[in-house]
């Protein structure tokens, strides 16, 4: 596959096209946004922030990168690549597939996508972008030096031209369906990856007095925005964490790190090995 950074960017202030000029992205009306040394750009306006420093912290981003780069979630990345390859193949002949990772974190999944794509003989060209509200996450992603447009931006207001995004990936994130709809057209797809009822079950059993097996989030908002469920599958596999550091990295990259009781934190800190179930629900939705 031929891979390049997406170029369908628009100004978050007035919606006009952005173009690279030196070390900045500039629109026709003169709004300018600096491109950092690592190659990413912050397009999240102050008035659109939910807090002063939204999204994952620098420490959480570092833990996630250590854990994911160790390969524990590689089967998820491989499954995503298979979906991307199949969905991109259905585009009109010679059409570039513009793909957005909405909530890209520190870039692991787009990194794996690029690596798997370079090994693939298919000539389908990909144009890639990753957005996240965490400046720390996007900074870490940009350091991977991939052909990706890395942007600090929100899913609610993705800075791309109307109808220009063919495929959106949203992994363990917060889909904003009306925001997605603004940048997609009929026939475009979203691939959701959400925790299944048994996701990290053994971890949760240690840190909580009781465990609730919750189903994936409802698709009611997606359906209200015009998206229909096309396919749903469960991916389940075991992982073996062989050190306290690995266990703590897994904890740090999950929401459980912010709410576990003191007794649960102490119990987890004593462990040197933990076998954990990974269970995710992969859903493909198409815009009607």
Q: What is the pLDDT of residues 202-260, one digit of tens each?
A: 999 999 989 989 999 999 999 999 999 999 999 999 999 999 999 999 999 988 888 88
Mean pLDDT, rounded, for 33-44: 96
Higher per-residue confidence, 243 vs 48: 243
Distances from the Cα of 151 to the Cα of 24, 62, 63, angstroms: 13, 18, 21
Cα 158–Cα 161–Cα 163 angle in degrees, nearest 5? 100
pLDDT, mean over the chain:
94
The residue to which tokens 């096209």 are assigned:
17
β-strand pairing of 18-21 with 24-27? antiparallel
Distance CA 74, CA 11 (A): 35
Question: Predicted confidence band at 48 (pLDDT cuts at 50, 70, 90)?
Answer: confident
Distance CA 252, CA 261 (A): 14
Distance CA 189, CA 180 (A): 10
CATH number at residue 94: 3.40.50.150
**Residue 265, pLDDT score:** 86
**Residue 162, pLDDT score:** 97
pTM of the model: 0.96
Domain count, the chain: 1
For 286, the enclosing helix (H) or strand (E) is strand 274-287
Host domain of residue 231: 3-287
Total residue length of the chain: 288
| 198-218 pLDDT tens trace | 999 999 999 998 998 999 999
Least confident of 40-44, 45-49, 151-155: 45-49
Distances from the Cα of 60 to the Cα of 92, 106, 137, 211, 217, angstroms: 40, 10, 9, 24, 23
Question: Predicted confidence band at 94 (pLDDT cuts at 50, 70, 90)?
Answer: low
3-class secondary-structure state, position 214? coil
Distance CA 24, CA 32 (A): 6
Question: Predicted confidence band at 90 (pLDDT cuts at 50, 70, 90)?
Answer: confident
**Residue 258, pLDDT score:** 80
Least confident of 67-81, 83-97, 213-227, 260-274: 83-97
**Residue 116, pLDDT score:** 93
**Residue 50, pLDDT score:** 72
For 113, the enclosing helix (H) or strand (E) is helix 108-118
Judged against a pLDDT cut of 70, whether residue 41 lies above it is answered with: yes
- Contact between 167 and 84 (Cβ < 8 Å): yes
- Contact between 229 and 285 (Cβ < 8 Å): yes
φ/ψ region of 89 (left if φ > 0, alpha if ψ in -120 to 50, else beta) reads: alpha
Percent of residues, the chain, with pLDDT higher than 70: 99
Judged against a pLDDT cut of 70, whether residue 123 lies above it is answered with: no
Judged against a pLDDT cut of 90, whether residue 103 lies above it is answered with: yes
């Amino acid at each position: 596959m031929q891979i390049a950074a997406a170029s369908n960017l628009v100004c978050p202030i007035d919606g006009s096209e952005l173009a690279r000029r030196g070390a900045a992205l500039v629109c026709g009306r003169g709004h300018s946004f600096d491109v950092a040394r690592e190659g990413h750009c912050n397009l999240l306006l102050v008035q659109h922030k939910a807090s002063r420093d939204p999204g994952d912290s620098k420490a959480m981003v570092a833990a996630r990168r250590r854990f994911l780069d160790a390969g524990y979630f590689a089967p998820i990345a491989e499954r995503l690549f298979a979906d991307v390859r199949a969905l991109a193949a259905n585009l009109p002949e010679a059409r570039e597939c513009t793909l957005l990772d909405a909530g890209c974190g520190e870039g692991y999944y787009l990194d794996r996508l690029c690596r798997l794509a370079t090994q693939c003989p298919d000539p389908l060209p990909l144009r890639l972008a990753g957005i996240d509200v965490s400046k720390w996450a996007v900074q870490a992603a940009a350091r991977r030096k991939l052909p990706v447009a890395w942007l600090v931006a929100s899913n609610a207001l993705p800075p791309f031209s109307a109808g220009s995004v063919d495929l959106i990936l949203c992994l363990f994130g917060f889909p904003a369906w009306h925001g997605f709809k603004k940048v997609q057209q009929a026939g475009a797809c979203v691939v959701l990856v959400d925790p299944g009822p048994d996701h990290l079950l053994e971890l949760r059993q240690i840190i909580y007095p009781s465990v609730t097996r919750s189903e994936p989030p409802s698709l009611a908002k997606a359906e209200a925005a015009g998206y229909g469920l096309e396919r749903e599958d469960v991916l389940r596999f075991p992982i073996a964490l062989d050190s306290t550091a690995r266990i703590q990295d897994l904890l740090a990259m999950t929401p459980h790190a912010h709410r576990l009781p003191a007794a649960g934190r102490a119990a987890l800190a004593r462990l040197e090995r933990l076998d954990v179930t990974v269970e995710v629900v992969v859903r493909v939705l198409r815009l009607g």
